[in-house]
Amino acid sequence: MKRDAQQQEPAYVMHRRPWRETSLLVDLFTLNHGRMSVIARGASSSKSPLKAQLQPFQPLVLGWVGRGDLKTLTQVDVRDGPILRRTVSLYSGLYLNELMQRILPQEDPHPTLFAAYIEALALLAETSDVEPVLRKFEQAFAAALGYDFAWDLATDTGHTISATHSYCYDPEQGIVAAVSAGVRLQNLPGDALLALADGDYEAVASRRVSKRVMRILTDYLLQGRPLNSRSLFSHPRGERHES
C-alpha cells in the first residue's frame, strides 16, 4: 500500500535533534498540518545539505511521506525570509518556537497563527524593541487555542472597561471586574487596558499590564511545563528579560 504523501507544504523548523546515527528528528510548524515531526534521513552526514537547510526561522516548502505521528522528509525547498541578527531578536524567536512546540497539539492546523508567526519574525528582524512583538504573538497564540479575550471588556459583568477603575484577570474568563476563585492578577488599571484595546503596546503602563497578563496566561497554558528559552533573556547578551 502506498504511503500517504504530502508536497509543497509551507513550514518552519521549531526544533531539531539527532536521530539514530546520521538523521535528524525535526519538529515543524506547518501551514495546513500544524505542529508535526519528520525524520530527515542522512541529514547529519557531511554530504547532506539538509542540516544547513533545516534551520529555525527559515521559510521552507517541504514534502514528506508516511502515516502516524512520524513522517519521513522527502523534499526541502528554502525560500527567502527575514534574518534575526540581533541577540534579543534571536532569543525571542527561540521563545516563540518553544512556546508552540510545548503547547500546540500535534497535527492541528492553525493558519491564522501561522500568519501571525510570519509577521512576528518579520518584526523581530527589524527591531530591538521586542516586547510589543512578543505580546501580540502571545495573544494570537492564546486565541488559536481558544483563550482569546478583549482588553476592554469585563466578562463577568458584560460592561466595557472604565478608565478610572481597576480590574482582575482570570485565564479562563479574561478581564473581570470582581475577585473570584480563578483570578490570578488584580489591580490592573482600566486606562492601561483601554490603551491595549486600542493596540497601544508601547506605553509603559501598557507594557507592564500586557506582560503580567500574558505571562500568567502562557504559564496557565504550559501547565507546569518549563520554557528553557526564558532563561536566555537573563543572559548578559540577552539585554532584558522580555518573555
Domains annotated on the chain, with CATH: 5-78 (2.40.50.140), 87-233 (1.20.1440.120)
Average pLDDT, the chain: 92
Which burial class, exposed, middle or buried, applies to 112 when counting CB atoms under 10 A from its CB (0-12, 13-18, 19+)? exposed
Q: What's the mean pLDDT in 105-124? A: 97
Is the pLDDT score of 234 beyond 80?
no
Q: What's the mean pLDDT in 57-80? A: 93
Percentage of residues in the chain having pLDDT higher than 90: 83
Is the pLDDT score of 58 beyond 70?
yes
- pLDDT score for 5: 84
Q: What's the mean pLDDT in 11-28? A: 94
Least confident of 183-192, 219-228, 231-240: 231-240
Q: What's the mean pLDDT in 88-107? A: 96
Least confident of 85-89, 178-182, 234-238: 234-238
Phi and psi at residue 176, in whole multiples of 5°? -130, 155
Cβ–Cβ < 8 Å for 169, 216 = yes
